């Protein structure tokens, strides 16, 4: 993440204003935590279905599309935004952008840490259940 920020800042002249380092660390930490839990969930799911290759190929493109990594989620129609907000990375992408351009505050981003922690717990439990079942 830091390397991407450095490259973006120097190569493209992007300006960052990190007004709240603790909020940035919280958002990044919870985003990574939820993504690790989601990975555990999918690992257990892949083992149960015994078709990791095809499933991962089918899932990768929609996840990139819906998380806002290529364009803002707000550009999607309303019904597709609903799908976007079912993925933890969407919350992390939106909050990380807001934190690094100086628009985020604890009050404005209050839902994000709660949502990311909820995703982390849910996917961790589901992943453990899948792996335990195997």
Per-residue pLDDT, averaged over 10-25, amounts to 78
Please state the separation of Cα 3 from the chain's center in Å. Answer: 18
Percent share of the chain, pLDDT over 90: 10
Helices (H), the chain: 2-12, 21-49, 52-66, 78-84, 88-100, 111-133
pLDDT for 5-14, tens place per residue? 778 777 887 7
Of the candidates 113, 114, 94, 115, the one whose C-alpha atom is nearest the C-alpha of residue 103 is: 94
- Whether residue 52 is predicted with pLDDT greater than 70 in this model: the reply is no
What is the average per-residue pLDDT within 9-26? 79
Residue 1 has pLDDT above 70, yes or no: no
């Amino acid at each position: 993440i830091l390397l991407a920020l450095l490259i973006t800042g120097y190569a493209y002249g992007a300006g960052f204003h990190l007004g709240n380092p603790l909020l940035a660390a919280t958002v990044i930490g919870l985003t990574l935590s939820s993504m690790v839990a989601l990975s555990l969930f999918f690992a257990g799911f892949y083992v149960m279905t015994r078709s990791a290759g095809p499933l991962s190929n089918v899932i990768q493109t929609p996840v990139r599309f819906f998380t806002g990594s290529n364009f803002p989620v707000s550009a999607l129609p309303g019904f597709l935004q609903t799908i976007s907000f079912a993925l933890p990375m969407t919350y992390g992408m939106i909050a990380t952008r807001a934190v690094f351009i100086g628009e985020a505050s604890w009050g404005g981003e209050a839902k994000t840490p709660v949502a990311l922690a909820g995703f982390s717990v849910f996917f961790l439990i589901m992943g453990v259940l899948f792996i335990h079942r195997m």
